[in-house]
Amino acid sequence: MLRRTAVLIFLAGFFCTACAFAQTTIIRKIEVKGNINIPDTPVLEAIGMRPGDDFSSSRLREDLRSIYKMGYFLDASVEVEEFEDGLKLIFSLKEKPDVGEIKFEGRKSVWESTLKDALDIKKGDTCACDEVRLKQNERKILDIYEERGFPFTAVTHEIETKKDAANIKFTIKEGRRVKIDEMNFLGNRAYNSKQLLAKMQVKPGKWYSERKLEEDIDKLADFYRSEGYILIGIDPPDAAYRAPSAAYPEKEKAKEKFVIDIKLHEGTRIKVDRIQIKGNSIFTEKEVRDSLSTKEKVIFNQSKFIEDMRNLQGKYAEKGYILCRIVPLTDIQEESGIISIIVDIQEEELVYIEKIKITGNAITKDKVVRRELTVREGEVFNTQKIIRSRQKIYNLGFFEEVDISTEPGSEKGKMLLVVTVKEKRTGMVSFGAGYNSLDGLLGYLEYSQNNFLGLGQFLSLKWEFGAQKQNIEASFTEPWFLDTPTSIGVDIFHTIRERTEYYYTEKRVGGALKVGRLITDYDKIYMQYKYENVEVYNVGDSASQDVKDQAGTNVTSSMAFSYVRDTRDNIFDATQGIYLNISERLAGGILGGGNNFHSPTMDFSTYSKLFGLKWLVLAFHMRAGIIDSFGASADVPVYEKFYGGGADTIRGYPERCLPQDATGGKSLLYTNTEIRFPIPGTEGLLKGIVFFDMGNLWKDTEINLNTLKKSAGFGIRINTPVGTIRFDFGYRFSSAGNYIAADRWEPHFSIGQLF
């Protein structure tokens, strides 16, 4: 196939060279033919030459390669014709067949659905069937079998083309399933076999996997090097079935064992004798030495030393010396067991950002991306600022991918910064039905747009309707008012909610005006004025006296002031950083209205990687607050008090069951601790958590730490276009009001992260 294309490229180049002697070689027209499922537009975009360009045989070769790289075509050739005092290029294409039925022959030990899920080709895929891709999918099948202990599996494929589709049959010869009976380490003196085996995935009693064994050999070598044995050598492992003796009878073949022998050549343990620093002028020798974890007269750790060199490179890059080269020169004296190191620093010149280019943003305006950058054109290159810029752009929530790269500038010491983004869908119209334990069955219709008009504005319109809740709300936020780091927003709402658990109905109508201002890269202040008319009616005879006292209509006029510090690396799925929100809300007094109260609250969250693992995250959240009346108000309205229990506070306890024996509380304190981890094989779609919650709410403003409620459990997080869906199962360690202690497991369902 490739040979034929190469010939066609040559002939096309030869033909057009001949044409050049007869007339102009200006390209007047470009046509595409032979494509059935793939439109002309993406093909024409892949072709670099355009009408009006001079013909170039080298560019033609590149264009044919570009068409091949699209992955849709088995063959591509070009014809050249005279056309309107110039040339017409006709690209003739032959599409790959669509994928038809996919079948597996010889499969016995693995579910067919498991194999199909592993393939990256599916029935109905357009122009997706070719030999290279099918070979790659053979490898995927082999990987599944190897994971399950079938190292001798063989896979082949056949293609049967019918009309425009290709039926694919994978033939599988599973071979013998292999369980490891014995593992032997040979030549190990520094560490015994038990210590080495603890470093490995492959162990006696487990299914054999050649890939995992190769990974384990690399881990063993890294372990030895981190302990100073940098000259470690490990022979290719000998893995095979072994007979009890050389002459063991045929009838005793069942007794043969699968044995793995691993032979090591440990070498001498190496200590650091001397470290010399050479070529430094930006940082003093002391500053360089202090940045290194590798010290003289200690055991040499190769992985730490490599990390030291990387960190030193980063230290220079933060100052703008991104062309700096760190060259470690080592002299190992095996007999003496020492290593001498020269750190040769070639600083080069300071680099400036000449220009910043934004690419990939078809909808989002350039300025929306640029205003998130912490670096500017003309500034010295700073890697830390660039990392932070990438975080801020990604945290906008408009992009699936954000990449920042460099290109050479117009002269030495200057570079272009290229910000490449891949946009995702930010607008959504949704409708349907849902259920939660607080509001029961709900229907909803919603339009939301996080990037309205490509300007980064937020717009939301929502209607919820059900037996216990009727809600209409609208919200709009401009994050950069007049192109300054000042946000303004407005909310309006009309909500009717049946509070069946408290025997009354509540109607709230009102709105809010919000203003925020960025004061540093991590800190922001907010101010919000909220006005709402609240009516409490349909009060039942069983309602508490607090509810009966609130019957009728009242107005709440309030102002809230907040300070927020947010250093999270990813606001949607943080792995490090903190979030702090300190707020004070004041209602009544000089603001008017019939309710007078104030409420200081604090939210604090922190995130860190457990054991240095990127995928294992420890997350902690604490919320504390008090609300109290003043002036003419004898008490805080029941609809402004705190309520706890449920998916968003203390899991394991039913919604709004806390505080016990009271209609709402005046003080709250609770913590949530989670360990978060990805679920293998789901490509980031699913995450698991285990959690421990603790806290309570109290009907008065005094917090009693002796009455804290505790719960523990597990949950699943599903990443979807509408947000994170949470399923949690909590076990409460004590009873909660009318909820008896015997039935302590409580399921929770919610949308959006808890913290």
Residue 54: per-residue pLDDT: 87
Task: Provide the pLDDT confidence category of residue 12 given band limits of 50, 70 and 90.
Answer: very low
Residue 247: per-residue pLDDT: 46
Confirm if 509 and 532 have CB atoms less than 8 A apart.
yes
Task: Determine phi and psi for 548, rounding to 5 degrees.
Answer: -60, -35
Confirm if 141 and 118 have CB atoms less than 8 A apart.
yes
Q: Compute and round to an integer the Cα radius of gyration of the chain.
A: 34
Q: Which fold has domain 2-95?
A: Ubiquitin-like (UB roll) (3.10.20)
Give the Cα separation of 17 and 28 in Å (integer).
16
Average pLDDT over all residues of the chain:
88
Confirm if 86 and 26 have CB atoms less than 8 A apart.
yes
Determine the angle formed by the axes of helices 210-226 and 302-318, rounding to 10 degrees. 80
- How many other CB atoms sit within 10 Å of the CB of residue 3? 7
Sign of dihedral through CA atoms 741, 743, 745, 751? negative
| 617: its two tokens | 């995250």
Sign of dihedral through CA atoms 279, 285, 291, 293? positive
Give the Cα separation of 72 and 91 in Å (integer).
14
| 361: its two tokens | 């943003």
> Tell me: the pLDDT tens digits for 26-41?
888 999 998 888 888 8
Task: Determine phi and psi for 589, rounding to 5 degrees.
Answer: 65, -130
User: What is the SS3 assignment for 657?
Assistant: coil
Task: Provide the pLDDT confidence category of residue 113 given band limits of 50, 70 and 90.
Answer: confident
Does the structure show a pLDDT above 80 at 741? no
Residue (of 645, 660, 641) closest to 701 by Cα position? 641
Does the structure show a pLDDT above 90 at 660? no
Give the Cα separation of 368 and 397 in Å (integer).
12
Whether the pTM exceeds 0.85: the reply is no
Cα 87 to chain centroid, rounded: 50
Identity at 20, one-letter amino acid code: A
Determine whether 87 is exposed, middle or buried from the number of CB atoms within 10 Å of its CB (0-12, 13-18, 19+).
buried
> What is the mean predicted confidence (pLDDT) over 719-728?
84
* CATH superfamily placement of domain 182-247+255-265: membrane protein fhac (3.10.20.310)
> What is the mean predicted confidence (pLDDT) over 111-130?
82
The answer as to CATH 3.10.20.310 being correct for domain 98-173 is yes
Does the structure show a pLDDT above 80 at 350? yes
Q: What is the CATH number of domain 271-346?
A: 3.10.20.310
User: What is the SS3 assignment for 266?
Assistant: coil
Pick the CATH number of 352-423 from 1.10.10.10, 2.40.50.100, 3.10.20.310, 3.30.70.2740: 3.10.20.310
Residue 69: per-residue pLDDT: 81
Confirm if 730 and 748 have CB atoms less than 8 A apart.
yes
Which ranges constitute the DSSP H helices of 577-686? none
User: Which of 91-100, 338-347, 554-563 comes out lowest in average pLDDT?
Assistant: 91-100
Task: Provide the pLDDT confidence category of residue 585 given band limits of 50, 70 and 90.
Answer: very high
Confirm if 528 and 559 have CB atoms less than 8 A apart.
yes
Task: Provide the pLDDT confidence category of residue 468 given band limits of 50, 70 and 90.
Answer: confident
Q: What's the Cα-to-Cα distance from 634 to each of 241, 463, 630, rounded to whole Å? A: 85, 35, 7
Confirm if 459 and 436 have CB atoms less than 8 A apart.
no
- 2-95 and 271-346 agree in CATH topology: yes
| 724: its two tokens | 């994170």
Beta bridge partners of 332: 339
Give the Cα separation of 455 and 476 in Å (integer).
13
Give the Cα separation of 746 and 735 in Å (integer).
12
Give the Cα separation of 691 and 636 in Å (integer).
33
Confirm if 176 and 151 have CB atoms less than 8 A apart.
no
> Tell me: the pLDDT tens digits for 563-575?
999 999 999 899 9
Which ranges constitute the DSSP H helices of 665-745? none
> Tell me: the pLDDT tens digits for 312-348?
999 999 999 999 999 999 999 999 999 999 999 999 9
* DSSP code, position 544: -
Which ranges constitute the DSSP H helices of 228-323? 285-291, 302-318
Which H or E element spans position 623?
strand 617-626
Identity at 652, one-letter amino acid code: G
